[in-house]
Amino acid sequence: MLLSTPTASSRFPIMALPSLTFPKGFNFTNQNEKYFLERVGTQKSLRKVVSYSVSGESSASVGKFDVPFPSDYDQLLQQAREATELALKDKIQLMEIEFPTAGLDSVPGDGEGGIEMTGSMQLIREFCDLFIKSEKVTRTRIFFPEANEVTFARGSVFEGASFKLDYLTKPSFFEDFGFTEKVKMADRVKPEDELFVVAYPYFNVNEMLVVEELYREAVINTDRQMIIFNGELDRIRSGYYPAFFYPKLAALTKTLFPKMETVYYIHNFKGRNGGTLFRCYPGPWKVLRRVGNRFICLHEQDSMPSLKEVALDILPSA
């Protein structure tokens, strides 16, 4: 993973995470069903929508498949924890958690890269503190993209924590040219490891290839489970990396991704037809739009729609 400044501490400034500007303590609840007429071409159709209003209490639960869009990062982490716990009970081995770190209404690139990664690091620590029981802490191994970030994490966000911190790649003499030293993942894990958390493996294309190796060599045919946290996997799903130039990376959409369950997900779309793709396991995928102080559900389905489908078909027709 290429980094722009000489010291880890300057690359990863500690920051306060922003959130949406709603009144303190307010959550999205009180689901109300509404209907409105939608014109598509010359045809009118009746579309059912669901709106989530702002209130001080939350009655929604993951088990009811009715989870409101979070009002802040505290609520987001609680939702992600509950979703992951349910996925673990369902014996799902490979999970994805993905959401913006520069604000709940932000999109990738809104924040500077190093700051976004620091935000993810802080949120991973908070998530692990919520999700992982004390007796499981020493059986949890958290993989950062490279060795330098492990050093930084131990001296800052993860200082004093008992989690095992590890890395996917190791910088080499030719790092400035994009080369990193390959680490054999089977040699990095220990027999007592039960859970792997992989932190934002997206800066260098080799990082996700190492993640696939980790899953193949240390998770399959075991009782272990793995969470990919803010890996920006949509870059691979959408073809951002051309298959002609990155055939191994593109192959992940057929080898690794079909085995993965996205347990928590937020992706925002800006512009005139803006909105949000939201999912909290085991609920459906929802396309939401904020109208005033409400989020209206424009569309929902069981499988993940492509970002292109949401941007070009679902949002413009709503």
Quote the percentage of the chain above a pLDDT of 90.
Answer: 66
All domains in the chain, ordered by first residue: 1-20+72-260 (3.40.50), 32-58+270-318 (no CATH)
Residue 275 DSSP SS3: strand
pLDDT of the residue at 171: 62
d(CA 63, CA 243): 39
Average pLDDT over residues 113-141: 91
Q: Where are the alpha helices (DSSP H) in the chain?
A: 8-11, 73-89, 113-131, 147-154, 205-218, 234-237, 247-255, 307-309, 315-317
pLDDT of residue 118: 83
The structure's pTM equals: 0.79
CA torsion through residues 191, 193, 194, 198, sign: negative
* Band (65; pLDDT cuts 50, 70, 90): low
Least confident residue range of 36-40, 121-125, 239-243: 36-40
Distance of CA 57 to the CA centre of its chain: 26
Which of the two residues, 290 and 26, has the higher pLDDT score? 290
> Which tens digit of pLDDT belongs to each residue from 202-230?
988 899 999 999 999 999 999 999 999 99
Which pLDDT score, from 0 to 100, does residue 170 have?
76
Tell how strand 94-98 and strand 225-229 pair up.
Answer: parallel
Transcribe 82-145 into DSSP letters.
Answer: HHHHHHHHTT--EEEEE--SS-TT--TTSS-HHHHHHHHHHHHHHHHHHHS-GGGGGGEEEEEE
Average pLDDT over all residues of the chain: 81
pLDDT reported for residue 150: 96
